[in-house]
Structure 1
Amino acid sequence: MKLNRRLFLGTGAALTATLSAPAVFAQSKPRVVVIGGGAGGATAARYIAKDSDGAIDVTLVEPSRTYFTCFFSNLYLGGFKDLSDIGHTYGKLASDYGINVVHDWAVDVDRDARTVMLAGGATLSYDKLILSPGIDFVDGAVPGWDVTAQNAMPHAYKAGSQSELLRAQIEAMPEGGTFAMIAPPNPFRCPPGPYERVSMVAHKLKQINPTAKILVIDPKAKFSKQGLFEEGWTKHYSGMIERIGPDFGGDNVSVDPAAMTVDIDGSVESVDVCNVIPAMKAGRIAEIAGVTEGNWAPVNAADMSSKADPDVYVLGDASAQGDMPKSGFSANSQAKVCANAVRGALTGSKVFPARFSNTCWSLIHTDDGVKVGATYEATPEKIAKVDGFISQTGEDSALRKATYEESEGWYAGITADMFG
């Protein structure tokens, strides 16, 4: 069944039913500042503003005026989407929900004073702070590469201009050229994402450069939906894709962006395009706020509050929460739990038990869609997986087409849920 916008929005009804907002505890409205306007932050800001019916003052801090979703950006690389299809603005959050949308960088957090400092010089006070900054990259994760090399060897794991650049490089490859991807180690944003990207790059090259080769250098012995992707690669792109795992040096790689070479365990390969996806960590503001432990920010499963500070919450990719993958669906699901908890803490409204869900769809070829997903519950230790599902190898084309159509319905639903 196609997952349409109405069905998607209905999945959060138990958590997000609008209740009449009780009187706030003080004369002035309580203040919530949300940093990051993606699947976690935009959703949390919208639900807090909507369900509190104006009883909470909500400010959303996001530097980008147009937000490009990382989910579905691979379909842009494959030629199934235009860039405008994955770009979204914040006007409705301001006009329809009264959210104060500030396009600026958050550069510091003073948790004692409960303030956020912005690059433009402003200071925002908060009663509750929600951090949903997405990812940054671990310095030195791929020897020879850092963000100063991202124009020569794009990561395209933050969508937008990097996506445009990588697609342009793919389209400009010489006939019979080589596209290389350096895949990231666990954990990272969207576990199936690099392998859907391989599929979409192969789809594009099969049309415009059918003798081109794709080299995947991977530090992991196995990856999400591996059987499904490998089945699809054999069926649709036979002979085009070679994956080098850790048994053959995939965990010992360096790059030279100036020479456009990749060193795989001492063997140097010249390539025409190199997509470097480094190891990841929580967005920088989480570290600045002092709520990270290692690369990620530990949270309490019941409400996504930071284990370092009960008045700070961390959503989505940046959080260390347990069993949920780092995905847009996960961030959106966590945001609804967080919004309900924050509203309850500030206004005394009812707080429902935390329930979470996730599905990750991937497109392998035209109308060949696959998915993996699960439901989760909050335990004292973590967000714990309850049950799950995954597409099966050998499925017929009608089911795969229906799965892809389901993903299109989900995308329409989640972006409406995020941006109003």
Structure 2
Amino acid sequence: MKLNRRIFLGTGAAAAASLSAPGVLASNHEKARVVVIGGGAGGATAARYLAKDSKGEINVTLVEPSRTYFSCFFSSLYLGGFKELADIGHTYGTLAAEYGINVVHDWAVDVDRDSKTVTLAGGAVLPYDKLILSPGIDFVDGAVEGWSLAAQNAMPHSYKAGSQTELLKAQIAEMPEGGTFAMVAPPNPYRCPPGPYERVSMVAHVLKANNPTGKIIVADPKPKFSKMALFQNGWNDHYPGMVDWIGEDFGGGNVSVNPDDMTITIDGEETKVDVCNVIPAQKAGRIAEIAGVTDGNWAPVNAEDMSTKADPDVYVLGDASQQGDMPKSGFAANSQAKVCANAVRGALTGSKVFPPKFSNTCWSLIATNDGVKVGATYEATDEKIAKVDGFISQTGEDSALRKATYEESEGWYTGITSDMFG
């Protein structure tokens, strides 16, 4: 099958890709070659584990356009003033210097599964024996009436961390006294199910300190959301009267926006707002679609190793995958990456492949030292990654437990970023 070779996201910076000897699965090749596209919680973890555990038997190339990775997880704590931007920024130097990973800062613009090559915007062509895609999310065109990527500076999504997060923070700081912050929440499935509601909490935290008469409106197409009782109780306790959540039953799914006039219309009622955070419906990052491994939105994968249903030599991790019961989170992507790396290494070198084990925890901060969490363990079945058991913080927990939960999240952040970047 010959695949679509459309270039996406314009031309990237040229990169001099240092190509190594091709891999063991083809004749006359000395080393197996794995190309990993996307340097986040899934891709960086997979690349590091492959390089670390193969001890030089596999040539690993990591393709990531950004030289600094800003984590989406904990980005709301930056909005809330609990973190600096530098606290959530990470670079790839250790992966290159200590693990021998060929880190290429460029856009992947084409995948040819017949010839097993990846083409970069800068013109380099990378051959592979196994390809791991961890491109995160893109947005569904037309998901919110009146909004498009052209409007992202007026109404930022801030659901890809970095400059968008800085922009939203600046807009919140510049809100007039008594002004209104609006959020358009996404439909299921989407990156980080608690994410929008932790963000609401952090915006409320800032307004309570600096603009206590400010208001927050949340237009939500869903009837419920992750940790709903925990968040709503927290909003009532810490930010009484500030947050107005409008769910599906009250017209939260019937929404349009006008970036020029800075208005949001919910179920026919127009409201002038000062900041509007539009989080649209989501789908797998564009390169997964170009590779021909999606169903139009997400990439269906096999639970035992994260290989795609379309091609056993292409794997998809994290947010972009359609894998079953795991949420789209950084923890989940990191967990899937380890399973995938073990399976890929086994296929390429004959090393032992361990039974897959998956887990996830999502922490959220509602107010200072008021942390909550939800999580589960999972197993691979023939149909999907299936939930085995789970846990969630309870309403009414004492302040010491909530503080301990927040401190636990800080420890996890240190651990996962070390696991990703070395």
Is 2:138–2:286's contact at 8 Å kept on the other side of the alignment?
Answer: yes
Residue identity opposite 2:246 in structure 1: I
1:326 is displaced (CA, Å) by: 0.1
Paired letter, 1:306: T
Q: Which amino acid aligns with 2:146?
A: G
Equivalents in 1 of 2:42, 2:405: separation in Å? 24
1:268 to 267, 270, 282: 270
Partner SS for 2:110? strand
Aligned residues: 398
Which of 195, 203, 209 matches 2:211? 209
Alignment of 1:152-171 (within 5 A): 152-171=154-173
**Residue of structure 2 equivalent to 1:190:** 192
What does residue 398 of structure 2 align with?
396
For 2:238, the equivalent position in structure 1 comes to: 236
Q: How far, CA to CA, are the matches of 1:151 and 1:131 in structure 2?
A: 28
The partner residue of 1:415 within 386, 411, 417 is 417
Say which structure, 1 or 2, has more relative contact order (CA 8 Å, 6+ apart).
Answer: 1
C-alpha separation in 2, matches of 1:320 and 1:28: 34
Give the residue type in structure 2 aligned to 1:76. Y
2:350 to 329, 344, 348: 348
Query: Between the two proteins, what is the percent identity of the paired residues?
Result: 81
TM-aligned CA deviation for residue 402 of structure 1? 0.2
* 2:256 aligned residue (254, 257, 262): 254
Render the CA deviation track for 1:146-170: whole Å, top value 9, x for unaligned: 1110000000000000000000000
Matched, 1:386 2:382: no
Report the secondary structure of 1:309's partner residue. Answer: coil
The AA in structure 2 aligned to 1:112 is D
Tell me what 1:291 maps to.
293
- 1:359 is displaced (CA, Å) by 0.1
Cα displacement string for residues 224-245 of structure 1 (whole angstroms, at most 9, x for unaligned residues) = 0000001100000001000111
**1:247 deviation in Å?**
1.5
d(CA) in 1 for partners of 2:351 and 2:201? Answer: 46
What letter is aligned with 2:158? A
Displacement of 1:135 after TM fit? 0.1
3-state SS of paired residue (1:96): helix
Q: CA deviation at 1:177?
A: 0.2
Contact preservation (8 Å) 2:289, 2:296:
no
Q: Amino acid of the residue matched to residue 69 of structure 1? A: S
Instruction: Determine helix, strand or coil for the equivalent of 1:329.
Output: helix
User: Equivalent residue for 1:360?
Assistant: 362
TM-score (norm 1): 0.94
Q: After TM superposition, list the pairs within 5 Å mapping 1:121-160 onto structure 2.
A: 121-160=123-162
Q: Is residue 49 from structure 1 mapped to residue 39 from structure 2 by the alignment?
A: no
Give the whole-Å Cα distance in 2 for the aligned partners of 1:144 and 1:79. Answer: 31
Q: Secondary structure at the match of 1:233?
A: helix
Superimposed CA distance per residue, residues 2-57 of structure 1 (whole angstroms, 9 cap, x where no aligned partner): xxxxxxxxxxxxxxxxxxxxx96664100000000000000000000000001000
Query: Counterpart in 2 of 1:98?
Result: 100
What is the root-mean-square deviation of aligned Cα atoms in Å? 0.9
- Aligned position for 1:58: 60
The CA distance in 1 between the partners of 2:29 and 2:244, in whole Å, is 64
Taking the aligned partners of 2:206 and 2:420, their CA distance within structure 1 comes to 30
3-state SS of paired residue (2:364): strand
Alignment of 1:18-57 (within 5 A): 27-57=29-59
SS in 2 for 1:362: strand
Cα distance in structure 2, aligned partners of 1:294 and 1:258:
31
Q: Is the 8 A contact 1:24 1:55 kept in 2?
A: no
In 2, the alpha carbon distance for the partners of 1:143 and 1:221 equals 20
Give distance in 1, aligned partners of 2:29 and 2:68: 35
Partner Cα separation in structure 1 for residue 226 and residue 250 of structure 2: 20
Match of 2:324 in 1: 322
How far the C-alpha of 1:294 sits from its partner, in A, is 2.7
- Contact residue 183 and residue 217 of structure 2 kept, 8 A: yes
TM-fit CA distance, 1:249? 1.0
Aligned-partner Cα distance in 2 for 1:158–1:398? 33
Work out the CA distance in 2 between the residues paired with 1:294 and 1:330.
22
The aligned amino acid for 1:275 is N
- Counterpart of 2:180 in structure 1: which amino acid? T
- 2:369 and 2:265 mapped to 1: Cα distance? 36
Partner of 1:11: none
Of stretches 24-33 and 365-374 in structure 1, the one that deviates more from structure 2 is: 24-33
What does residue 303 of structure 1 align with?
305
* Cα distance, 1:270 vs structure 2: 0.3
CA distance in 1 between partners of 2:261 and 2:100 (Å): 51
Provide TM-score, normalisation by structure 2: 0.94
Question: How much does 1:251 deviate?
Answer: 0.6
Please state whether the residue corresponding to 1:70 is helix, strand or coil: coil
2:176 equivalent among 174, 177, 197: 174
Letter in 2 for 1:287: E
**For the residues of structure 1 that align with 2:32 and 2:185, how far apart are their CA atoms?**
44
Q: Secondary structure at the match of 2:366?
A: strand
